[in-house]
Amino acid sequence: MARTYGWRGAAKAIGWDLLRAPANVVLSGATGVARLGGLAARSVGARRIGDRLGRFQILLETDVGREVVWRVHSDFMMIPYRQVGRANLADALFERFCLIPGSVATLIR
C-alpha cells in the first residue's frame, strides 16, 4: 500500500503526467470521432479504411498508467512482463502447472 499511495507513488503523478492527463481528456474526443468514422466507413463498404480508423488511438502514455500496467502484470497476475528498464521473469502460472503430476512441465524439470 505504501508503495502505491506513499510519496513515491505520488511522485509518479507529478511532472509531465500533470500535462498528459488533461491532454488525454481532449484527445479522447478525437479518438472517439475516428472510431465512429471507422464504423461508418465499414458500414458503407470501405472495410480497409474503416479498420484503420477503428484502431486509431492518439492518447498519450502516462507514467501512472505505465506503473498500473506493470503492477497488474508483475504483482497481480504474476506473469512475465517487460517494460523499458525493467523485467519481471516470475511466472506463477507455469510454476503452478509444474505442480500437476504428469504434466509436461514435470517431465522436463
Buried b (16+ CB within 10 A) or exposed e, 7-28: eeeeebeeeebeebeeebeeee
Q: Which residue segment(s) compose the domain that 95 sits in?
A: 62-109
How do residues 34-87 score in pLDDT, each as one tens digit? 999 999 999 999 999 999 988 888 888 888 888 889 999 998 989 999 999 999
Tell me if 48 is assigned to some domain.
no
Grid coordinates standing for 46?
Answer: 470501405
In a domain, 39, yes or no: no
What pTM was estimated for this model as a whole?
Answer: 0.65
Distance between CA atoms of residues 34 and 23, nearest Å: 17
Q: Has residue 36 been placed in a domain?
A: no
